[in-house]
Amino acid sequence: MATPGSTTEEITARTCCAPANDAALDDSRSQHLAQVFKALGDPARVKLFSLIVASADGEMCVCDLTEPVGLSQSTVSHHMKLLVEAGLVTREQRGRWAYYRTVDGAVEKAARSVLTV
């Protein structure tokens, strides 16, 4: 903790233990976390993600994701791209179809990161 009389330099050097008001996540970290949460910040993507979580073998073909969400394959693929880019889902092309799996612990890790700064 900074004490009364600390110089600016001293406070800066103690970033690891700064008072709560200086404890904001840095730009890089907050941008990454925002990307993860934004990826889930859409009802269709929430559904798509939860469908894969709930799937019997933890994997779903894009061909099986369109009907439950009532969207075209190109729209589903766009949503899935954002989930992949956020690190929440992996994509594997097998023949004609793309298959998706959720990344273990990714949601929990993001949640923990904003709760334990």
- Residues that bind a copy of itself in the complex, under the rule CB under 8 A: 19-25, 27, 30-31, 33-35, 37-47, 49-51, 53-56, 60, 64, 67-69, 107-108, 110-111, 113-117
Instruction: Pick the closer one to a copy of itself by CB: 7 or 56.
Output: 56
Instruction: Pick the closer one to a copy of itself by CB: 25 or 91.
Output: 25
- The minimum distance between CB 78 and a copy of itself, in angstroms, equals 16
CB 19 within 8 A of CB 2: yes
CA distance 82 to 69: 16
Instruction: Pick the closer one to a copy of itself by CB: 5 or 105.
Output: 105
DSSP-based three-state secondary structure for 114? helix
CB 77 within 8 A of CB 97: no
- The minimum distance between CB 36 and a copy of itself, in angstroms, equals 8
Residues 6+ apart with CB under 8 A from 71: 44, 79
